[in-house]
Amino acid sequence: MAVPKKVKFIASLYQLCFHPSTAISLSSIVVRLNILRGRDIFQVDMQKSKELFREVSIAAGAGGYKGSKSSTEARFAKHIDKSIPPPIEFHWHLHPPLQQKSWFVSIASFKAMLTHPIKWQKSLRLQKSPSMKAILDGVRDPKDEQIVDSLREMLLLEGHLPDKHYDYHTLLRYLRMRDFDQTKAKDMFLNYLKWREEFGVEALIKEFQFEEFREVKECYPHGFHGVDRYGRPVYIDRIGMVDINRLLEKTTIDRFVKYHVCEQEKTLNWRYPACSLAAKKHIASTTSILDVKNVGTSNFSKPARYLFLEIQKIDSNYYPETLNRLFIINAGSGFKVLWTAIKTFLEPRTLAKIKVLGSNYLSTLAEAIDPSNLPTFLGGNCTCSDSGGCLLSDKGPWNDPEITKMFQSMIGNEECEERLKRNLATEDGDDVRLKDASETRLGDHLSPKKIQAFEELLREAKRKIRTLEVALEDTKSVLQGLTQHMEELKR
């Protein structure tokens, strides 16, 4: 069939405007022009009817399932014990069935595609890129959302008004920790809220200054350093080098516990969001390395045991499901004796995430963490010489100015500055001095969206209260009728 000259001209123009990989074929344009002759809007059926499938796959990060794993992730997955609970960033996602879609293209939009091809292509790229909010929220399993909503309703019906800790991810962590037993998760979550109030966490993260930060790091080397291959923050603890007597000369157990709580809050409110934005997928857990070289029973004096148990209790009860994997390295015979006793204090879910290694640990670590994010003392390539050492640098996306700028644009300048102040407040007190008068209280600057969400929750709670009141009146009427009936029978 001979192709009209007008069609050839438009096809040539289109191919000049667009990249060859996105150009519409000549035959497609012919079909479109033939249809356009008779109507302003045309419909093209893009799919043939066929039997549809539903498949279950593990989806991670924003945007859902993205296909097969990389070779590195696949190798790492082979070494993960099947008894280990899946990381909190992953969930079972049931793909919805494919639906037949029809595409409508008007003459105006078709002309716009030809007239402004660059602008049109940019709009396509913007539509494909996930929003920053979607990245932070992650992909949610409908079943998880349902049970989280159920737990939230249970809390509301018991008179617990919602606050910022009733968010989806916080409640999900407690449900996972209690194997989705809503009653146990509710009790654990309420204990967490009670502890926050009694411990004064909100005031602590605003006011506490750990001036002895550098001195403590010298006698107890620990800190965050880089990310693993998935994008999670990496925490390194060289417990075998702890000098407990010197540590207690520089600080007290009470102050160290407060510092630890501030670091946990910083991880939840700053490190995880920053890592999520950098990795472009939801991050909600930490990969940890515990170096137990030279650790034995002599290392755990009474003060050391008390400090360890206090921190372990706080992490298990009030920051559950934040551990992805724990690699215990350089484990010798002395540590193995201790490990037998320590295991009794740990939850089974936590134990499943721990891998104990000897001195030949590097290949295992390298599968989970790129050598560029491992210090040289662990066999990696990093020295952080410009920061005084890797465990003093706090290296990671949370200190990237570009990530900070992105985060600031999302949550607002005031809240971002507040979070930055919280981060700096636990570091070197000689360099950072916070004044109460200059602090911004997040609660005094609620955004309209937060107020609207709170009002919706209140309206829902009032609706349920009215429903209960009606049911109570009905029950009261029935009881009155029964009482009258009993009185008549007595006569």
Print pLDDT tens along the chain (491 aa): 555 554 444 445 444 444 444 433 444 443 344 434 443 333 333 343 333 333 333 333 333 333 344 444 444 444 444 456 677 776 433 334 444 444 344 455 544 545 555 544 444 443 444 577 778 777 888 899 999 999 999 998 888 877 778 889 999 999 999 999 999 999 999 999 999 999 999 999 999 999 999 999 999 999 999 999 999 999 999 998 999 999 999 999 999 999 999 999 999 999 999 999 999 999 999 999 999 998 876 777 888 889 988 998 999 999 999 999 999 999 988 888 888 888 887 778 888 999 999 999 999 999 999 999 999 999 999 999 888 899 999 999 999 999 988 887 776 654 555 555 555 544 544 444 333 433 433 344 455 655 666 666 777 777 778 777 777 877 787 788 788 878 777 77
pLDDT of residue 412: 60
Nearest to 157 by CA among 462, 486, 488, 484: 462
Structure tokens at 401: 């100015």
Q: Quick one: pLDDT at residue 452? A: 62
User: What value does the CA radius of gyration of the chain take, rounded to a whole number of Å?
Assistant: 29
Does residue 113 contact residue 120 with C-beta atoms inside 8 Å?
yes
Look at residue 300 in the predicted model and tell me its pLDDT.
73
Whether residue 83 contacts residue 159, with contact meaning beta carbons closer than 8 Å, is answered with no
The whole-number pLDDT of residue 35 equals 39
Q: CA 361: distance to chain centroid?
A: 28
- With contact defined as beta carbons under 8 Å apart, do 196 and 367 qualify? no
Strand partners, 236: 223, 289
Give the chain's domains with CATH numbers: 5-38+94-137 (no CATH), 142-199 (1.10.8.20), 202-448 (3.40.525.10)
pLDDT of residue 98: 41
Whole-model pTM? Answer: 0.63
Confidence at residue 221, expressed as pLDDT on a 0 to 100 scale: 95
CA distance 255 to 194: 20
